[in-house]
Structure 1
């Protein structure tokens, strides 16, 4: 491959390449391989950076370990922010009470977000900073805060973060993304997520040379002025139609299996969804929504149908609107969304974490669980797939996301390795409105967005039962991508390049 400036200009055999480009700087891969760089189509930069440098609750095994971790981490005069607990994976599912959190916190304000970031355990000291939390929907005097009460608490925590702390977190996030072969991220910001000051600082930091691209979305209705002020791609991302399954706030048609009195939360109805779609379509902006439950998806599809009556199918499809997560959807709904050229920004590691006979999905939904995250069906109906992490909900590890998409818990719902890889590269660019047919691939004329990977430890079995290292040589009868079977180590990034400029080098 030959690169001039920021563009791939030639791909072919080694000998002719050297003859066509005499005097070029030669980079010998020495057994490594080059591939299109990844796009993460759903991230939360500051929250991820804080998680990378703060208390990690993803590894605690029960409430006692969580309380011990809080006791060790609290500091006088500081708000403790931690993330990642998931009681469905604990040896005992009992969640610590407010009184137990208070005792461990020793009077400090504490905010402990659940893995899906749609509920949180908090201390009384944190609640005292925002008294209106006690009167909000989702308030609990003992257990996790959900819905509006959680949004109030999260805003309080966000206000407690200093500009210097935010800068360190965002810098850590961008560096971490580059270290994992990611050249572009879709930041899903909004008034209930991060705030305008946070978004302003992130865009300024990403504009510095040598940073991954940040494609920014703002999840709020009636905010076209803000979108134009910041040059945003759209009013999309985490504009909530509903919540999350783990927190019992995803909107369902039928009650939760483990909470038969609840069908979750619905924050927007079809008319509000349609109004937002029309506003964005007429303003030349991409619209989009966070939607997970089948009740929420039903509202979204109805919203598109209502909007089509106002602006027409062609205008609606021309904007390439998008949906985040889209976990519970049937074939008929998928075909309708494909007709409106909707992109599905999805997270394959959700299935890896919560799918299967004994996973959280089965606990929450019973026999409905195997139908979740139907990647193959969506791709077959023509919905554009764009994969990401929803970091910090799952880590910035794109090869693991590709692996999860291949090895779906439900037979027939997974993708081929090539289709999964494309969804994490070209699909991400396309979901952000780049539909030139080249970006995200290594072909002449494409932007030079690529990563170099160490595959020295990767082996595959050949047809004659021998074992050999992965190779880019098609004569070796090796698949076009490295093996991603369970247990096989993922490739390690050696270099990440965006537009011909190196972002990371090991």
Structure 2
């Protein structure tokens, strides 16, 4: 039986093949017709777009759905600007919880504070009334915890990354994170996942790439999320980040054995593996590499044996060098063409140089990047410069240089590290703090739509074209639209950048394969 058809008319369509198109017909989940209103065929249902813009829906190429949902309903610390403000926020939030509850908070970033001194574990303990407290730094690669949580995790004291202050990194952080999240019930996790996906749909996102793994989420959490994919919600494409874990990734239903398979840590926690020592902080050092080139090679060979896409989380230039050396080793065994065909991924790729970019081109590596990182941490006096110095900070997040030489880009948020905010990410890529790394709005939009589909080998998705899947979003564009895309930047170049006042589009509806998964005003 044929499903009812729907005609959308009276809009502006992002349709390069037919720029004059104002209407489209959806039948059986696909676009059955495109054209102008006057030529529109009949349909079972008609939707008046009232001049709204219709574009392909977004894909967020790197998310953590459970963490995102918990952050949306938990203690948001992204706005605190001092140790005192953090403690006040913890105290107010904890006051509404039972005495045996665990306080979960996320998003503090001391690099934005005038005084970057953190409260110690004892102060956090007092603020929370003796409760166990886990407060993840914006990068999610470290956390500030209370003495009560440390007391419940004695094994953390002997683990690498432990610090008596209560700011834990590396293995010690993994220990306390697992203990803190063990307090979250399965029902709460499912609710958090649904809330995260509903939030994504309300922002015009029709698909997300979930980056899971043994150090990020348990297997039940991962498979549970895949189980609700597309059920009135955005589709979920899962990556399982376990070294030599291609077989397990396939068993779990993942599309790839990669994502957050850590080659290093994060710049915010000074655990990203960089080639020159950090310039700030007491410990100095160059961060930490978690894999060898031989392990990278063997993981890629394991992925090839199971016909799966692979990949790594790699942020610092030293970590990326290690990953590329592993690719070179795998190429000796498999050949470059086979490596390229797999479209293996590197997540983040924040500190790069021309040699590394050339490696991405040679091996056909997809760069899964987050433009909001530059918006938040790039520029004069911000985290990249304080950690790395001016010259190295200018090399961060080189999406413009990568795009210009043909590296495949897939944009995302790494939510909850940065919020789900697709148009904000497009604008951030176009307004990169380093002018040499800027992209056009059109190219950035493509990386956040079609680029995400291509990253999971779905090459015919992400376009408004005859016969293509009817996956699109409908937008109000308060600043207007030009050539099928919204105006995202101020006319005055002096106003462009991280604080551009131009209002972003507002999603009115999100459609996934013909089904409406979000509609403005519906509950």
Instruction: Compute the TM-score of the two structures, normalised by the length of structure 1.
Output: 0.93
User: Could you say which residue in structure 2 is the equivalent of 1:194?
Assistant: 217
For structure 1, the 5+ residue unaligned runs are 459-469, 472-477
Residue number in structure 2 paired with 1:8:
31
Number of the residue aligned with 1:421: 445
Please, which of 369, 374, 385 is the counterpart of residue 409 of structure 2?
A: 385
Superposed CA deviations along residues 204-250 of structure 1, whole A, max 9, x for unmatched, are: 22253x11100000110132332222221011100000011111001
Deviations 1:273-300 (A, max 9, x none): 1110111012101101000001011101
Matched, 1:268 2:298: no
**Cα distance in 2, alignment partners of residues 180 and 22 from structure 1:** 30
**Is residue 493 from structure 1 mapped to residue 507 from structure 2 by the alignment?**
yes
Shift of 1:330: 1.5
Does structure 2 conserve the Cα–Cα contact (< 8 Å) formed by 1:331 and 1:381? Answer: no
* Aligned partner (choices 122, 130, 135) of residue 145 of structure 2: 122
Rounded to whole Å, the distance in 1 between the matches of 2:178 and 2:333 is: 36
Task: Name which of 340, 347, 362 aligns with 1:317.
Answer: 340
Equivalent position of 1:40 in the other structure:
60
Whether 2:419 is the aligned partner of 1:398: answer no
Is residue 158–residue 194 contact of structure 1 (8 Å, CA) maintained in 2? no
Aligned mate of 1:231, from 230, 253, 260: 253
- CA shift, 1:24, in A, is 4.8
* Number of equivalenced pairs: 482
How big is the shift at 1:265?
0.7
Question: Secondary structure of 1:339's match?
Answer: helix
Distance of 2:180 and 2:433 partners within structure 1 = 36
SS at match of 2:435: coil
User: 1:476-505 CA deviation, whole Å, 9 max, x = no partner?
Assistant: xx3431111121111100000000000000
Is this contact kept in 2: 1:167–1:201, CA < 8 A?
A: yes
Matched residues in 1 for 2:417 and 2:336: separation? 35
Contact 1:82 1:112 in 2 (8 A): yes
Name the counterpart of 2:102. 79
Equivalent-residue separation in structure 1 for 2:44 and 2:400 (angstroms): 43
CA distance in 2 between counterparts of 1:379 and 1:10 reads: 32
Tell which deviates more after alignment, 119-128 or 492-501. Answer: 119-128
User: Equivalent residue for 1:480?
Assistant: 484
Q: 2 CA distance for matches of 1:323 and 1:89?
A: 27
Q: Deviations over 1:115-143 (max 9, x none)?
A: 01011000111122221100000000114
Which sections of structure 2, spanning at least 5 residues, go unmatched? 1-23, 490-499
Task: Give the TM-score of the pair, scaled to structure 2.
Answer: 0.90
SS of match in other structure, 1:34: strand
Which segment is superposed worse, 330-339 or 302-311? 330-339
* Conserved 8 A contact 1:95-1:143: no
User: Of residues 389, 393, 410 in structure 2, which corresponds to 1:369?
Assistant: 393
**1:442 matched to 2:464:** yes
**Contact 2:146–2:166 (CA<8 Å) still a contact in 1?**
no
Other-structure match for 1:465: none
Where do 1:104-123 residues align within 5 Å? 104-123=127-146
Match of 1:251 in 2: 273
Map residues 136-155 of structure 1 onto 2, 5 A cutoff. 136-155=159-178
Residues 1:163 and 1:128: Cα distance change in structure 2 (over 3 Å):
same
